[in-house]
Structure 1
Amino acid sequence: MLRMEIALFLVLALVAYVYFSAGKKYTQLHRTFSVLLIAILVHLIFDAATVYTVNRLDTVPLLLNNALHRIFIGTMVLVVYLFYRYIAILVQEETGKRRRPDLAAKVFLVIAELGVLLLPIHYAVTPKGNYSDGIHASVCYISMAFYLFLCVWLLLRNWKQLDPKKKFAIGAALGIEVGVSLLQAMNPTWLISGMGLTLMTLSFYLTLENPDILRAELTEQKMSMLYLKSQVNPHFLYNTLDTIRIQAQLNGDKAVSDLLMRLVDFFRLSVKVDRQMVALDDELELLEAYMELMCYRYPELECEYDIDPDLGGVQVPNFILQPIVENSLLHGLKNKGYRGRVRISAQKTEENRMEISVCDTGSGFAEGKKDAIDQMLLNYARQAPKLEGNSIGILTVQKRIKLLCGREYGLWYTENPTGGVTAHLLLPRKEEWVE
């Protein structure tokens, strides 16, 4: 059995090396998985130590044996709690629902860890091998049952809303752990609890946390962004150049020079795709060039900015604002003859976050359109890549924010009481970013 624990540790150590060397993860889900990997590696070390010492009760001091067992069971309780937390965060990101069992899970963790520290330990000595039993050992079984129940409850309660791949990953992991736990309960001398926890970790790693899968998703999103940038509305380019031509006939060269300068600025900035993240100031510079050209074409179109000066250096996904503003113009203000106002705001919110909003005074959503957009943005992961259509811009923006910043961030729309719509982008406030 000792050899199995050592083998499990080496396998997970390799997984941890690959995972952490792939780059730092910023989302709550990835941070939880990172802590889980470290916790289970520590647990396997003490699992191996207790497998050795429990079968040498006559030579290993009882005090040492007890200390090792308390750490072994204490880390096991922590690991199964982290499994619950990982699944709960995953479900919340998929459904948008609050994690209601969190308080009960944390309270139980504290009670269980106190039990691990204070309850007496008893050892059963049998011809097939020794193991710890009694009330102290029951803590791990009760903890396992409690957290597995919470996970199964979350899975069944949100079954219809979860992505099939995520349902499979959670279901497979829980099935493995339930099976191993039952075998361990029926055969206490087998000492295979570490195998169940390791297989659960591997199932999540292989299906949801594999760095190669994450890199593939990033590549897909970068290709979508490249396509979007290559397809900058050709009508916009044609009409702008036509406006410049007409203006050249009507007045001197200064206005033409200014228009050409802004057009050059726009395309110079829009083709910068070498970085996934850019400073907010750079993103706004691109947007200002675009809006100056649009406002020149449509004199009754106004654009206002309300940007917190402290946010200029914050890193945001590249090329996310222009598609949102263009969407406001084409689907809101176009119906009103481009008469109206677009207001771009960027303000700090709580918990090191910020919100960028794009508010227009356009015609608002057509009947049923908002519900369709809400569903598309909510189920962004299930949407097949699109190469045409009005929703390519906002869908690409949503996917890139979720992938680069974390699933707790993203894009959503609200209707203004006085008419028009507002696009909201929730983003983290970071001035440095590891890609």
Structure 2
Amino acid sequence: MQIKAEVYEKQLSSHFVLNTLSTIHFLIDHDQPAASEMMQEFLHYTKHVIKMAKSAPWNSAEIEIAFAEHYANLMKMRFEECYNVSYDIDVREFKLPLFSCKLLLENAFYHGVRNIGEQGRMSIRTFRREDGRFVLEVSDNGEGFDVEEMWREAEKKGSTLWQIKTAVSEDETAELTVESHKTSRDEILEKWGDQIPPMNTVIRITSQNL
């Protein structure tokens, strides 16, 4: 089973498109250079969706990361100080499930850091292990969850993370791992105050070269 067709459609969902165009419309009146920059990012993002929709179920990490970066740039323009992503890309010559990097980043924001505001941090990292296998790591310092409970709910709902897990499970050389500590927004802010909390959820896809 491949990542479901509706995942393709969600990359250009009406909700996402309208929110993006509304932000561009606002910027045209208030910051034309920013409006132009956002329109360029949206065009790059859209071209990637169209091209990737015709791709095989697995894609190069280089393309997947570039797509996630365009998405992150659009979201940064919408949410400004509340959207912070860092990149540590050591390798790009390996394969990933289609849209997986962007989907994990999207998951990190909406289910992790969004509720903790400007202190939220996300990270995309790639590296090669000593055994020669490659790893994509997406982490965030937001609200965490019980992993076993998350998988039960993910299977029931057929969530994006479950669909990525299904895609990964079809390749015996690949692996998906999730680490998280169940914490609420209030617990995070009470413990860390104005400081930046450490990473709390880490999701890794381990794969091989192209």
TM-score band w.r.t. shorter chain: 0.7 to 0.9
Identify if the C-alpha distance between structure 1 residues 339 and 260 changes in structure 2 by more than 3 Å, giving closer, same or farther.
farther
2:149 maps to 372
Aligned-partner residue type, residue 166 of structure 2 = K
Report the TM-score when normalising by structure 1: 0.41
Cα distance in 1, alignment partners of residues 59 and 45 from structure 2: 15
- Cα shift at 1:338: 5.9
Bigger relative contact order (CA 8 A; separation at least 6)? 2
Partner of residue 34, structure 2: 255
1:281-340 CA-partner distances (Å, limit 9, x unpaired):
1111100000001111111121110011xx222222221111111111111112123642
TM-score by length of 2: 0.80
Question: Which residue matches 2:59?
Answer: 278
Give the drift of 1:408: 5.5
User: Does the Cα contact within 8 Å between 2:124 and 2:136 map onto a contact in 1?
Assistant: yes
Do 1:269 and 1:286's aligned partners in 2 also have CA atoms closer than 8 Å? yes
Q: Distance in 2 between matches of 1:426 and 1:338?
A: 30
Q: In structure 2, what is the Cα distance between the partners aligned to 1:298 and 1:318?
A: 25
Once the two structures are superposed, what CA deviation does each residue of 1:15-62 show, in whole Å capped at 9, x if it has no partner? xxxxxxxxxxxxxxxxxxxxxxxxxxxxxxxxxxxxxxxxxxxxxxxx
Partner of 1:410: 176
Higher strand share: 2
Q: What is the RMSD computed on CA atoms of the aligned residues?
A: 2.4
Give secondary structure in 1 for the equivalent of 2:84. strand
The answer to whether the Cα contact below 8 Å between 2:127 and 2:135 also exists between their aligned partners in 1 is yes
Where 1:363 maps in the other structure, the secondary structure is coil
Distance 2:53 2:172 in 1: 20
- Aligned counterparts of 1:412 and 1:419: Cα–Cα separation in 2: 13
Structure 2 segments unaligned to the other structure (5+ residues): 183-196
Distance between the aligned counterparts of 1:337 and 1:279, measured in 2? 32
Q: CA deviation at 1:230?
A: 0.4
CA distance in 2, matches of 1:287, 1:306: 13
Corresponding residue for 2:44?
265
**Structure-2 residue corresponding to 1:288:** 69
Quote the Cα distance in structure 1 between the aligned partners of 2:14 and 2:179: 26
Cα 1:408–1:277 change in 2 (3 A) is closer
Cα separation, 2, equivalents of 1:280 and 1:407: 16
- The 3 A distance-change label for structure 1 pair 375 and 251 is closer
CA distance in 1, matches of 2:129, 2:180: 18
Q: Distance in 2 between matches of 1:324 and 1:343?
A: 10
Alignment of structure 1 residues 63-78 onto 2, 5 Å: none
- In 1, the alpha carbon distance for the partners of 2:135 and 2:35 equals 36
Does 2:7 match 1:228?
yes
Counterpart in the other structure of 1:148 = none
* Correspondence 1:396 to 2:177: no
Aligned residues: 192
Distance 2:66 2:127 in 1: 17
1:364·1:419 contact (CA, 8 Å) conserved in 2?
no
Q: Following superposition of structure 1 onto structure 2, how do residues 105-144 of structure 1 map, counting pairs within 5 Å?
A: none
Specify the code of the residue in structure 2 equivalent to 1:238. Answer: L
* Counterpart for residue 351 of structure 1: 131
Partner residue, 1:239:
19
Structure 1 gap segments, 5+ residues each:
1-216, 378-382
What amino acid sits opposite 1:358 in the alignment? V
Partner of 2:68, secondary structure, is helix
List per-residue Cα deviations over 1:226-269 (Å, max 9, x = no partner).
211202354332222111111101133x3212101111111221
Structure 2 equivalent of residue 329 of structure 1: 109
